Chain A
């Protein structure tokens, strides 16, 4: 179990998941389009007053990002569970936590990163500019990995369960609340001129807490599902 072997395994998992994601481009674009659609529906529902839009933009964009993450995270392990790859991941000598982390990272690259990049565009739609746009992207950059990490726990717990989509939502959405609050808070405090440092640090703290704990819980849940 050399270091190189572990790194190689992680690289292989990330590469394989990315390849699978690009082969199933429909799934990939669904997540991204979902984010765009949800965010674009709000101005149509609320009305085009720039003041109102700027006020609701942080919350709306963050909720849209959160829902699009939820949409895809439930299936992180499904394919591997069905074709037995997950079972082998449990059996190989590399620590399962690292394997889980690699899969979560791949999920974030495919669903989190596009949201971060698109947020510039959607922020413009809502009349955000300058600092607020940058903080929006930065908060999503710090927050979406946490969402993927937490979401993976729900995905692993509901492996092979009937109606797992709704169940993942019920399990995971309450746990998303702190990230939503700090993320949207960072943007809205920038808009109102308070400064986003405190919210961004808390968002970073969430990531630092989730980074070691969530993969541990996910690995435990995978073991429970596979055994």
Chain B
């Protein structure tokens, strides 16, 4: 993509952000591939077999980093959303919008790999455990943010409404997590001992951390790619922005 082809109308800060993001993407992507390759090598060829779970435990090399990213990205999205609401800064909203789909994908992956790990380990695809249930709720919250943004035509309003919902969600996730844990202790019959996270060898932990860093770098690259798309799409839709932009040119610099 040649940046010179884009004609910038009014966002001076976006004009700088777009090529900056473009320059960062290859570095993030390259580093992501390296870290994930190292993590996979360590995870599959160096890390020993777990004596309790056999080889099935290797799923955690993708499950745990995906779950971490799903939560980390939600907090990041909420931070950008809050920043956007506080400073009335459009790039912050765009950042939040760019983070949401990647976060949702990682949440989906965490759920799927969790089920695939649970089946051989606990004998059930799904267990109503606090962590799994909260992850499911997290997916609903991501979908809520994205759908709310998509169903409001006025972009300025869509940005602010979905940002507000992201903030409401971030307050609620800990409460939901606590309530489901509470519920789980009430219904002992259904719960399975979940502290089955095996006593991990150092290589297992290293492999997991390498994968997590790789996932984080991957997220950076993909989010910046999506940010560029969002910037471009908004730049070429002045009819939607017109009313919002005129009084807000200064806001954008924030």
Do A and B come into direct contact in the complex, CB within 8 Å?
yes
Q: Which residues of A contact B (CB under 8 A)?
A: 153, 157-158, 161-164, 167, 170-171, 173-175, 177-178, 181-182, 185, 188-189, 202, 206, 209, 213, 217, 220-221, 224-225, 227
B143 contacts A by Cβ under 8 Å: yes
Interface set, chain B 134-154, CB cutoff 8 A to A:
137, 140-141, 143-144, 147-148, 151-152
Contact B144 A220 (CB under 8 A): no
Extra pairs beyond A181-B180, A206-B175 (19, CB < 8 Å) = A161-B151, A167-B144, A170-B144, A171-B144, A171-B165, A173-B140, A175-B176, A177-B180, A178-B172, A178-B175, A178-B176, A181-B182, A182-B179, A185-B186, A209-B175, A213-B171, A217-B167, A221-B164, A224-B164
Interface size class of B (residues with CB under 8 A): 20 to 34
A173 contacts which chain B residues (CB < 8 A)? Answer: 140
Interface pairs (15), CB distance under 8 Å: A157-B161, A158-B148, A164-B151, A167-B148, A175-B168, A178-B178, A181-B179, A182-B182, A185-B186, A206-B175, A213-B171, A220-B85, A224-B161, A225-B161, A227-B157
B171 contacts which chain A residues (CB < 8 A)? Answer: 213
Interface residues of A, dominant DSSP? helix
Contact A157 B164 (CB under 8 A): yes
B27 contacts A by Cβ under 8 Å: no
A182 to B182, CA, bound (A): 9
Q: Which residues of B contact A (CB under 8 A)?
A: 85, 137, 140-141, 143-144, 147-148, 151-152, 157, 160-161, 164-165, 167-169, 171-172, 175-176, 178-180, 182-183, 186
A153 contacts which chain B residues (CB < 8 A)? Answer: 165, 168
Contact A174 B182 (CB under 8 A): no
Contact A174 B144 (CB under 8 A): yes
Contact A174 B148 (CB under 8 A): no
